[in-house]
Structure 1
Amino acid sequence: MPRAIWSGAISFGLVNVPVKLYSATSPKTVRFNQLHAADGGRLKQKRVCAIDGAEVPFEEIVKGYEVSPDRYVVITQDELDALDPRATKTIDVEEFVDLSEIDPVYYDSAYHVAPATGGAKAYRLLLSAMEDAGKVAICRFVLRTRQQLCALRPAGGVMMLSTMLFGDEVNSPERLDELEALGEIEANEREVAMARQLIDSLSAPFEPLRFRDDYRERVLELIERKASGEEITVQPTADAPTEVPDLMAALEASLATVRAGDSDRPEPVATRRRARRAPARAARARAAAK
């Protein structure tokens, strides 16, 4: 059985709902250790002073915040502890909003919320009320000494909690100079219509299990082959020449590819590869017709 990472209560007005949090995701990343190429020994990191070059023991290390180049303000652990948010063991609901009002860029980590002992009835009440209202609760709580902003929402008959970034942690796209060119460009109706046809032809219900991390699987396969003693020969790959796309030709070729396919929808990655090659194919076809 999974282990709860937090237990407490949802504070909803004068109502407390005892709950537990469980991680909703398990990111799968292939992790490597750094080894010495000469003998295969694992490398260890040492903390070395930049001034005298001496290795510094852990008990002599303090925290410093750089306020200007090579100028630091030293902060003690006691000073930080005095500022730590009070761990109240409650998820405090501050307001309710529509789910559509929250841009996904604000979401961070996701957790399943389960009722704790004695909290099932209150949990069901809050869940049913939120489902009926179509609302998401914006809350605050303390997780691992850090105050978190979070969204509490119904999801398939249970409640889920997603920690969120604060407003000043999200970068505005207005800072991107490249977006200024968009004001000078307009897509004509025919281009929009063809792009919409391509979108419609590739539309499907979202099935998360259809999408796999192909790169991670290939890395694990490589590790397994090398661990079994197989000698691997890496073939050099040449970079494909960059071509300026003919937008209409790419749209036409993409639509033709999708329409000519069988009932099994191609994987999105393969479709994108064909779309990238479409301008070259269309250009060769036009040249042959001349």
Structure 2
Amino acid sequence: MATASRSIASLTLSFGLVNVPVRLFSATESGADIRFNLLAKDGSRLKQQYINERTKKVVERKDMVKGFEVEDNQFVLFSPEELKQLEEGSSHVIEIVSFVPLASIDPLYYDKSYLLAPDKRGDKPYALLAEALRQSGRCALAKWSWKAKQYVAQVRANDDGLILQQLRYAGEVRSLADLDIPKTQVSKPELQLALQLVDQIAADSFDPEQFHDEEKARVLAAIDEKVKGKKIVASSREEHGPVGGGQVIDLMDALRASLGGKAATKTAARTAGKTAAKASAKVTQLAPARKAPKRAGAEPEAAAKPRARAHR
């Protein structure tokens, strides 16, 4: 863990009479973002100002208030002191209120993630809670006040320890049921072909190292070229348009073409046996093989970290 030496805070997981002292770490690397500053064309930094629309004069921050628009151009005003009184006081206690099945929480509710590590004298209760969550298949739901706001959070265990997951409130999450998606029936042959396609490119698990931020790599390479005083040349990128040039393709034909044109993968080779025997009679009748589109390559070597980074 890259940030293991710098915890955000020392907290306590509390349920019943059990207290688990923990240290809180960010689960993401904020320094990995590319940030640019807005500058004038001569390279000078810019200073932001707030202008009164009526008087056209600059308003200093000490003279500002916040307003909530209740009707068109009609506001109720709040001073900083009034808003301060409404803030939630921060707490160093994460209060567990229940344990629910891990699968019962839709990832749509997931917000920011944190890592939890045992604090002083917390090794044993930390390990005990983590193992209990693993074996029960449950996670903890908790209330947590942090930085003047109140959160609902999930505490779950993976193979290495505990994760604190901020959750969104019900009113912040949309439902697919609101989109009126039609209940479309699929035929058995269509489903069989779709399952064959899934099986052909299936993988045993998610490997995050398989994917690279190619846009970020191009930007970092361009920054490095700028630092070296070289001219930036636009990279040639393959554009992936609609399949069939926007034409409407029969679903069965598309499935057959996908199966027939897909080169055998390592995963597909491992599925030989019963699955291959059952599917062989159908697969031999599929459409002729068609060259598969090129996959995005690995992150280019030019994406090495530049000697001078820009910020935005």
User: TM-score band (shorter)?
Assistant: 0.7 to 0.9
Paired with 2:120 and 2:233, the residues of 1 have a C-alpha distance of 58
How far off is 1:200 after superposition?
Answer: 1.1
Aligned position for 1:274: 293
Matched, 1:211 2:211: yes
Aligned position for 2:162: 159
Q: What do residues 143-182 of structure 1 show as CA deviations (whole Å, max 9, x unaligned)?
A: 2121111100111141111111011110122333xx44x2
3-state SS of 1:109 partner: strand
Distance 1:139 1:242, change over 3 A: same
Aligned position for 2:248: 244
Aligned position for 1:222: 222
Matched, 1:3 2:6: yes
Amino acid across the alignment from 2:220 = L
Paired with 2:135 and 2:266, the residues of 1 have a C-alpha distance of 39
Aligned position for 1:279: none
Q: What do residues 120-146 of structure 1 show as CA deviations (whole Å, max 9, x unaligned)?
A: 222122222222322100001112121
Aligned position for 1:269: none
TM-score between both structures, scaled by the size of structure 1: 0.82
- The two structures, once aligned, show a CA RMSD in angstroms of 2.4
Q: Structure 2 matches for 1:1-290, cutoff 5 A? A: 1-26=4-29, 28-37=32-41, 39-176=42-179, 179-180=180-181, 182-183=182-183, 185-204=184-203, 205-234=205-234, 240=241, 241-258=245-262, 260-261=263-264, 263=266, 274=293
Distance 1:86 1:234, change over 3 A: closer
Q: RCO greater where, 1 or 2, for CA within 8 Å and sep 6 or more? A: 2
Paired with 1:25 and 1:235, the residues of 2 have a C-alpha distance of 29
3-state SS of 1:190 partner: helix
Instruction: Identify the structure with the greater helix proportion.
Output: 1
Contact 1:65/1:73 (CA < 8 Å) preserved in 2? yes
Contact 2:109/2:173 (CA < 8 Å) preserved in 1? yes
3-state SS of 2:293 partner: helix
* Unaligned segments of structure 2, at least 5 residues: 269-291, 295-312
